[in-house]
């Protein structure tokens, strides 16, 4: 029953507010340019995987610099290969040893696991983050869009 509730919530979440998928697709297709060297803003493409449930899928992100330490990350992906999801969250980014250390959190609602906490790092070309919530835990692995991405085949 928990999976059905999560699926319903993911579909509803993907259709509302700032994470509307049509806006994401439009922005993605407009060629969201890569940022200058040393910045993580731009388009990212890769996969996500739950270590807790084994679910996995593709994920894309459009990351936009807000100020010196904050980025807006808009994520769009698939669950069960065909069910779209999307959300946005603010990431705090601190430069450290040639990469950005990332953190953030987003409440996706009780049906989807509540508050998701996000910890990771990114370089000019690689993005790695781990997420945790009350019901789930896993990873996002992405690379710059157009740069080959990671293999999402299992």
Q: What is the pLDDT of residues 37-94, one digit of tens each?
A: 678 988 999 999 999 999 999 999 999 999 999 999 999 999 888 888 888 999 999 9
CA distances in angstroms from 84 to 19, 20, 62, 121, listed in the order given: 11, 11, 16, 25
| Burial environment of residue 2 by CB neighbours within 10 A (0 to 12, 13 to 18, 19 or more) | exposed
- Position 99 pLDDT exceeds 90: yes
- Amino acid 27: pLDDT: 77
Q: Identify the weakest region by mean pLDDT among 22-26, 57-61, 68-72, 120-124.
A: 22-26
Question: What pTM was computed for the model?
Answer: 0.78
Domain borders along the chain are 2-144
Tokens 């990114």 appear where?
122
What is the average pLDDT across 30-37? 62
Pair 136, 113: CB distance under 8 Å? yes
Domain 2-144: give its CATH superfamily: Quinohemoprotein amine dehydrogenase alpha subunit, domain 2 (2.40.128.120)
- Closest by CA to 112, choosing from 64, 153, 53, 70, is 53
The Cα 41–Cα 144 span in angstroms is 10
């Amino acid at each position: 029953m928990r999976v059905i509730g999560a699926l319903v919530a993911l579909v509803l979440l993907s259709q509302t507010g700032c994470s509307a998928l049509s806006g994401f697709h439009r922005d993605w297709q407009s060629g969201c340019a890569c940022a200058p060297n040393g910045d993580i803003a731009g388009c990212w493409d890769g996969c996500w995987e739950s270590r807790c449930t084994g679910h996995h899928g593709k994920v894309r992100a459009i990351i936009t610099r807000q100020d010196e330490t904050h980025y807006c990350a808009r994520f769009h992906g698939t669950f069960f290969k065909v069910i779209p999801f999307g959300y946005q969250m603010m990431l705090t980014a601190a430069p450290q040893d040639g990469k950005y250390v990332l953190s953030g959190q987003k409440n996706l609602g009780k049906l989807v696991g509540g508050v998701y906490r996000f910890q990771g790092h990114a370089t000019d070309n690689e993005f790695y983050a781990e997420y945790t919530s009350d019901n789930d835990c896993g990873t996002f692995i992405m690379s710059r869009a157009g740069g080959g991405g990671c293999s999402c085949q299992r």
